[in-house]
Amino acid sequence: MEQQYQSSSEYLQAVINSLDDELIIIGQDFRITKVNAAVVKRHGGKRARVIGQYCYEVSHGTHEPCQPPSCECPVTRVWETGKPVRVTHTHRYDIGGESQEKYVDITASPLRDSQGNITEVVELIRDVTEAKRLTRQMREAHQNLLASRQELVRWNIDLENKIQQRIKELSALNAVVTTVSQSLNLDKILNDALLKILAVMEVEAGVVHLVDEKTDQLIIMVQRGLLPEYVREIMKLKPGAGIAGRVVQSGEPIVVNDAMDNPKSTTMVGKRGGFRAYISLPVKSKNKVLGTLSLASYTPNKFGLEAVRLLSAMGDAIGIGVENARATKRLEEANKIREQLLKKLISAQEEERRRIARELHDEASQSLAALALNLGAIADTLPVSYHDTRQKLDILKEQAIQTLGGIRNLALELRPIALDELGLPMAIDWYVKDYLVKRGLDVKIEVINPKTKLPSYTETMLFRIIQEALTNIVKHAEASKVRVQLQLSDSMAIVQVEDNGKGFEVEATPSREDTQRNLGIHGMAERATLLGGTFTIKSQLGQGTCLRVEVPLMEGNISHE
Ligand X SMILES: Nc1ncnc2c1ncn2[C@@H]1O[C@H](COP(=O)(O)OP(=O)(O)OP(=O)(O)O)[C@@H](O)[C@H]1O
Asked if residue 539 binds Mg ion (CB under 5 A), the reply is: no
Asked if residue 225 binds Mg ion (CB under 5 A), the reply is: no
CB atoms within 10 A of CB 246: 15
Window contacting ligand X (CB under 6 A); options: 10-18, 310-318, 361-369, 473-481: 473-481
Q: Which is nearer to ligand X, 56 or 535 (CB)?
A: 535
Minimum distance from residue 248 beta carbon to ligand X (Å): 51
Among 243, 501, 526, 551, binds ligand X (CB under 6 A): 501
Q: Which is nearer to ligand X, 321 or 544 (CB)?
A: 544
Among 15, 382, 519, 554, binds ligand X (CB under 6 A): 519
Minimum distance from residue 341 beta carbon to Mg ion (Å): 23
Contact partner, 11, from Mg ion, ligand X, none, Cβ < 5-8 Å per class: none
Q: Which amino acid is at 236?
A: K
What residues have CB less than 8 Å from 52, skipping those under 6 apart? 31, 32, 33
**C-alpha distance from residue 480 to each of 441, 442, 446, 470, 554 (Å):** 5, 6, 18, 12, 37
Minimum distance from residue 423 beta carbon to Mg ion (Å): 25
Asked if residue 504 binds ligand X (CB under 6 A), the reply is: yes
Asked if residue 376 binds Mg ion (CB under 5 A), the reply is: no
Cα gap 300→275, rounded to integer Å:
8
Contact 193, 318 (CB under 8 A): yes
Q: Got the DSSP string for 453-513?
A: PPPHHHHHHHHHHHHHHHHHIIIII--SEEEEEEEE-SSEEEEEEEE-S----GGGSPPTT
Window contacting Mg ion (CB under 5 A); options: 8-16, 124-132, 218-226, 512-520: 512-520
How many residues bind Mg ion, per CB under 5 A?
A: 2
Asked if residue 499 binds ligand X (CB under 6 A), the reply is: yes
What residues have CB less than 8 Å from 457, skipping those under 6 apart? 347, 558, 560, 561
Cα gap 413→404, rounded to integer Å:
14
Regarding beta strands 442-448 and 288-297, do their DSSP bridges make them parallel or antiparallel, or are they unpaired?
unpaired
Q: Which is nearer to Mg ion, 195 or 474 (CB)?
A: 474
Among 65, 273, 520, 523, binds Mg ion (CB under 5 A): 520
DSSP H or E stretch at residue 412: helix 387-414
- Under rule CB under 6 A, which residues in 443-472 are in contact with ligand X? 472
Contact 372, 402 (CB under 8 A): no
Contact 77, 85 (CB under 8 A): yes
- Under rule CB under 5 A, which residues in 152-211 are in contact with Mg ion? none
Cα gap 438→443, rounded to integer Å:
10
Minimum distance from residue 434 beta carbon to ligand X (Å): 19
Minimum distance from residue 508 beta carbon to ligand X (Å): 9
Task: Identify any residues that bridge with 492 across adjacent strands, giving them in sequence order.
Answer: 552
Residue nearest to Mg ion (CB): 520
Burial class (CB in 10 A: 0-12, 13-18, 19+), 477: buried
Minimum distance from residue 493 beta carbon to Mg ion (Å): 22
Minimum distance from residue 374 beta carbon to ligand X (Å): 40
Window contacting ligand X (CB under 6 A); options: 5-13, 54-62, 258-266, 512-520: 512-520
Residue count of the chain: 561
Among 476, 481, 512, 548, binds ligand X (CB under 6 A): 476
Window contacting ligand X (CB under 6 A); options: 100-108, 140-148, 497-505, 549-557: 497-505
Q: Got the DSSP string for 301-352?
A: T---HHHHHHHHHHHHHHHHHHHHHHHHHHHHHHHHHHHHHHHHHHHHHHHH
Among 36, 312, 458, 472, binds Mg ion (CB under 5 A): 472
Q: Which is nearer to Mg ion, 210 or 469 (CB)?
A: 469
Cα gap 178→46, rounded to integer Å:
92
Asked if residue 348 binds ligand X (CB under 6 A), the reply is: no
How many residues bind ligand X, per CB under 6 A?
A: 17
Minimum distance from residue 555 beta carbon to ligand X (Å): 31
Asked if residue 436 binds ligand X (CB under 6 A), the reply is: no
Cα gap 468→431, rounded to integer Å:
12
DSSP H or E stretch at residue 152: helix 129-181
**Which phi and psi (to 5°) does residue 550 adopt?**
-120, 125
Window contacting Mg ion (CB under 5 A); options: 16-24, 112-120, 350-358, 468-476: 468-476
Among 424, 473, 525, 530, binds ligand X (CB under 6 A): 473
Contact partner, 451, from ligand X, Mg ion, none, Cβ < 5-8 Å per class: none
Contact 283, 210 (CB under 8 A): yes
As a whole number of angstroms, the longest Cα–Cα distance in the chain is: 198
Asked if residue 523 binds Mg ion (CB under 5 A), the reply is: no
Asked if residue 441 binds ligand X (CB under 6 A), the reply is: no
Window contacting Mg ion (CB under 5 A); options: 190-198, 298-306, 379-387, 467-475: 467-475
Asked if residue 93 binds ligand X (CB under 6 A), the reply is: no
What residues have CB less than 8 Å from 308, skipping those under 6 apart? 253, 255, 279, 281
Q: Which is nearer to ligand X, 233 or 413 (CB)?
A: 413
Residue nearest to ligand X (CB): 520
Q: Which positions touch Mg ion (CB under 5 A)?
A: 472, 520
Q: Which positions touch ligand X (CB under 6 A)?
A: 472-473, 475-477, 499, 501-504, 509, 517-521, 545
